[in-house]
Amino acid sequence: MLEGMISTADVARAAARIEGRVRRTPVFADDGVWFKLEQLQHTGSFKARGAFNRILVAGEQTGVVTASGGNAGLAVAHAAREFGLPARVYVPATAPAVKVAKLRQLGAAVELVGEKYADAYDAAVKAAADSGALFCHAYDQPDICAGQGTLGLELLEQTGGLDTVLVAVGGGGLLAGVAAAVEGR
């Protein structure tokens, strides 16, 4: 469960913090519907926004640890590499080989643990606690959500405002961040 609520101000601070570290992705309109093209973001998803924000908020670190089935791990590995930090990514043994190869290309140490994401997650939490490395959750930390929510601020700036915003939901971090970004606008 998310450790605390985030606000529009949290998302605005995250946007300032990660500026220049993530891409301002374009929007595309078709028949009155706007699409934010986050597949053009570093590592191919919005997850880089949260990873950069989490690491920047935490300050000086000796390394980062995450559990992922793919995109969150790629984002954390990319951000860690940009800061010169070692990254350890725990993935289930069932993770796609292409994702594991990409993680390694980004310099992450990849640990294949168990058959389910929950197994990899438990191992990652323990490894972070044991080593003192920063744990980056895929979606369930305020700094991650605020970073991911910067997508919403960009969307509003690029479109001039919207009546309705639809957000894909996996774990809910993007939805929480975008909801905070667009609240009251």
Contact in structure between 156 and 162 (CB atoms under 8 Å): yes
Residues 67 and 40: beta-carbon distance below 8 Å = no
Residue 2 domain-assigned (yes or no):
no
pLDDT digits (tens, 9 = 90+) for 55-104: 999 998 999 999 998 899 999 999 999 999 999 999 999 999 999 999 99
Range of the domain at 139: 8-182
- Residue 84 belongs to a domain: yes
pLDDT of residue 162: 87
Q: What is the pLDDT of residues 36-61, one digit of tens each?
A: 999 999 999 999 999 999 999 999 89
Q: What is the CATH number of the domain that holds 24?
A: 3.40.50.1100
Is the model's pLDDT at 176 over the cut of 50? Answer: yes
Q: Is residue 133 part of a domain?
A: yes
Measured CA distances, 20 to 15, 23, 41, 42 (Å): 10, 7, 12, 12
Establish if 152 belongs to a structural domain: yes
DSSP secondary-structure letter at 59?
A: -
Q: Is residue 3 part of a domain?
A: no
**pLDDT over 70 (residue 34):** yes
Q: What amino acid occupies position 38?
A: E
Name the band, by pLDDT with cuts 50, 70 and 90, for residue 128: very high
Listed range (56-60, 63-67, 144-148, 166-170) with the worst mean pLDDT: 166-170
Q: How many domains does the chain have?
A: 1
Residue 83's H or E segment, with its range, is helix 71-83
pLDDT at position 170 is: 86
Strands 87-91, 109-112: pairing kind: parallel
Q: What is the pLDDT of residue 126?
A: 98
Look at residue 1 and tell me whether its pLDDT is greater than 80: no
Assigned domain for 1 exists: no
pLDDT of residue 64: 98
- Write the CB contacts of 79 (distance below 8 Å, at least 6 apart in sequence): 21, 48, 51, 52, 55, 64
Q: At what angle do helices 142-159 and 173-182 cross, to 10 degrees?
A: 50
In a domain, 175, yes or no: yes
Question: What is the model's pLDDT at position 69?
Answer: 80
Q: Can you tell me the distance from the alpha carbon of 52 to that of 179, in angstroms, rounded to the nearest whole number?
A: 20
What pLDDT is recorded for position 185?
73
Neighbours of 73 (CB within 10 A): 32
pLDDT number for residue 2 = 47
Neighbouring residues of 44: CB distance < 8 A, sequence distance ≥ 6:
71, 74
Q: How far apart are CA 14 and CA 50, in angstroms?
A: 9
Q: Is the pLDDT of residue 154 over 80?
A: yes
Residue 24 lies in a domain: yes
pLDDT of residue 3: 52
